[in-house]
Structure 1
Amino acid sequence: MSKTKVLVTGADGFIGSHLTEYLVSKGYAVRAFCFYNSFNSWGWLDTLPKDTLDKIEIFTGDVRDPNGVRVAMEGIEVVYHLAALIAIPFSYHSPDSYIDTNVKGTLNILQAARDHKVERVLVTSTSEVYGTALSVPINEQHPKQAQSPYSASKIGADAIADSFYRSFQLPVTIVRPFNTFGPRQSARAFIPTIITQLLNGFKEIKLGDLTPTRDLLYVKDTVKAFEAIANTETLVGEEVNIATNSEISIGHVAEILKEQINPNARIVTDTDRLRPENSEVFRLFGDNAKLMQHCSWKPEYSFEAALAETVTWFSDAENLKQYKAGIYNL
């Protein structure tokens, strides 16, 4: 699919910027949909090498606006839809914005893709739609449990995507990454939160609940799975996990990082970072059998190697200064 014209929404964000960079390196013609702002900021794309950025067509807009989405979709063959509000604590505060962006925004993408007869549409879901695991490893048939407004909005987005496949034969695949981490990730996620506090020399590392487990996947492996799925016709109309078939607790990861960066630091519980009890997802452990069966994909990075590369990136002073480690980021 070299030189295929692709649209990446949420290209200015964490996974979106890595996916955009990767697709450019593979020879795709990439149009990057970035959130419009008066600062003319393209988010993490601004940090890419000039020779990479020069190959990207930037489109600024808002996925909540169907008119701009329709313009962005012109001439596109494959859509990677990643634009979303993703912070769980902020969804308690502003649930309306999650419905507008995640559900209505996805609807706008689907409508425009249908109008323009796009060849493939990948809608990005989240492992949070499963809630706390009822059985493990979690496969695509696991029940959906809306344990936060964020999760509910993504379940809604997935459902509307599935309906467009069933009703209009739109070639949609629902892509469900588990807990992706790596360079450029927001400090609202627990790994950047731990690393940035440690690198800033904090003696007390503030975290929420340490007991939940997560299936941690390196972002460079995640984006390769996206491309593999887009090139696999047998996954049209399907939901597919991107996972590692493993789990590790937040507390264990915190101890590993503490030993690597500052063994004298102390981990403390910050009650402001605790989710309501019935909202916390205590166990995520994904089944990637479907992905591997259809795509022959497997993670290339070990957890240890991925974590080391992530710490190295955050250790760069220019990168670290972009994070406000002392402020709890919803």
Structure 2
Amino acid sequence: MTSSHANQPVRTLVTGASGFTGRYLVNNLHERGHTAIETFAGRSEPETPTRVALDITSPENCRRVIETVRPDYIVHLAAISFVGHDDPLDFYRINVIGTLNLLEACAATGHTPRKVLIASSANVYGNATSDAIDESFPLAPVNHYAASKAAMEAMVHTWFDRLPILIVRPFNYTGRGQASNFLVPKIVEHFARRAPAIELGNIDVARDFSDVRYVASAYEALLDSDAAAQTVNVCTGTPYTLREILSAASDLTGHELQVRVNPAFVRQTDVKVLAGSPAKLRSLVPEVQAIPFMDTLRWMLEA
């Protein structure tokens, strides 16, 4: 990703840059010599050349940012991603209309970036029962978050002939800095403070957990790839049950944690095994190597 003008660094606009994934991606981009232009919501801080305010729900604001920055690349991570968010309409305002505003801003300003990478979610597959869900599986969202991402994808497809867009569907991923209302950080936090017990739901569900550093590296490499007008899973293809994670954390720390199953945390709709097929990702960016989950767990416990 070197610029054709030697003295002009590549400019990459990252929405949601201060989020869990954004922080890792921005760090990677800096190491590649990019100028990362980070967006932030609200007016709580002053703008700088590399930090700009962006209200994704405002078409005018989106146009102003695209016109001012004219980025070489756009990585769109900004979204409402907490499934339990209390206002269902916000999912659609931000995840669907916000994404549309960004694309329309490119059209309105006559600016075509080299690549627009848009983050969707493996949640769009819903309760698909397979240990290797690939990109051809039908979408069957079961909540507003997933439905908003599926609607966003459908809308983005109508732009495939106008802008070089790539949609990524990450499966579960974790790492240092993830909020403790997510499962793996919750488990790590209990082991780190040597808590006597933990309350969880069904510990026999299995999930394809990636390392956030792997996800950020995949996004960065996909920007550089020739892939456009398509969708790609970001996953490892290796599922782990929560029971296995608890056992591994116990082995790593030497601490025994009593597990109490809280019926309130057990959902009847819980998918038994949710694992993706990374075959397409590997064919597009073979240089990006997955990080073994036990290494991720060790890294988190050492924090």
Aligned mates of 2:95, 2:259 — CA distance in 1: 34
Residue 155 of structure 1 pairs with residue 155 of structure 2: no
Which residue pairs with 1:177 in the alignment?
170
Which residue pairs with 2:50 in the alignment?
57
**Mind listing any 5+ residue stretches in structure 2 that lack a counterpart?**
3-8
Counterpart of 1:305 (choices 272, 295, 300) is 295
Q: What amino acid is the match of 2:228?
A: V
Moved more, 257-266 or 298-307: 257-266
Counterpart of 1:237 (choices 218, 224, 229) is 229
Counterpart of 2:286 (choices 296, 303, 328) is 296
State the TM-score, normalized to the length of structure 2: 0.89
Residue 250 of structure 1 pairs with residue 238 of structure 2: no
Residue 34 of structure 1 pairs with residue 29 of structure 2: no
Q: What amino acid is the match of 2:23?
A: S
Preserved CA contact (<8 Å) 1:244 1:288: yes
Which residue pairs with 1:22 in the alignment?
28
Moved more, 12-21 or 189-198: 189-198
What is the deviation of 1:215?
0.9
Aligned-residue RMSD, C-alpha: 2.1
Aligned mates of 1:158, 1:86 — CA distance in 2: 15
What is the deviation of 1:98?
1.0
Aligned mates of 1:31, 1:23 — CA distance in 2: 10
Which residue pairs with 1:127 in the alignment?
122
Q: What amino acid is the match of 1:228?
A: A
Preserved CA contact (<8 Å) 2:252 2:298: no
Change (3 A) 1:293 1:270: same
What is the deviation of 1:27?
0.4
Which residue pairs with 2:193 in the alignment?
200
Moved more, 143-152 or 192-201: 192-201
Aligned mates of 1:298, 1:20 — CA distance in 2: 17
Preserved CA contact (<8 Å) 2:204 2:242: yes
Residue 96 of structure 1 pairs with residue 86 of structure 2: no
Q: Give the secondary-structure state (helix, strand or coil) at the position aligned to 1:165.
A: coil
Which residue pairs with 2:5 in the alignment?
none
Which residue pairs with 1:48 in the alignment?
none
Q: Deviations over 1:106-148 (max 9, x none)?
A: 1112212333222211110111111233333111001111111
State the TM-score, normalized to the length of structure 1: 0.82
Aligned mates of 2:287, 2:266 — CA distance in 1: 35
Preserved CA contact (<8 Å) 2:118 2:168: yes
Q: Give the secondary-structure state (helix, strand or coil) at the position aligned to 2:243.
A: helix
Q: Give the secondary-structure state (helix, strand or coil) at the position aligned to 2:56.
A: coil
Aligned mates of 1:242, 1:138 — CA distance in 2: 11
Q: Deviations over 1:168-213 (max 9, x none)?
A: x211110111111111112221111111233234322122222221
Q: Deviations over 1:228-274 (max 9, x none)?
A: 111112x2100011111211112221232234336332111234434
Which residue pairs with 1:320 in the alignment?
none
What is the deviation of 1:37?
5.4
Residue 113 of structure 1 pairs with residue 106 of structure 2: yes
What is the deviation of 1:299?
2.3
Moved more, 142-151 or 204-213: 204-213
Counterpart of 2:12 (choices 6, 11, 21) is 6
What is the deviation of 1:41?
10
Change (3 A) 1:209 1:69: farther
Preserved CA contact (<8 Å) 1:9 1:34: yes
Aligned mates of 2:242, 2:168 — CA distance in 1: 24
Q: Give the secondary-structure state (helix, strand or coil) at the position aligned to 1:239.
A: strand
Which residue pairs with 2:6 in the alignment?
none
Aligned mates of 2:61, 2:149 — CA distance in 1: 22
Preserved CA contact (<8 Å) 1:128 1:281: no
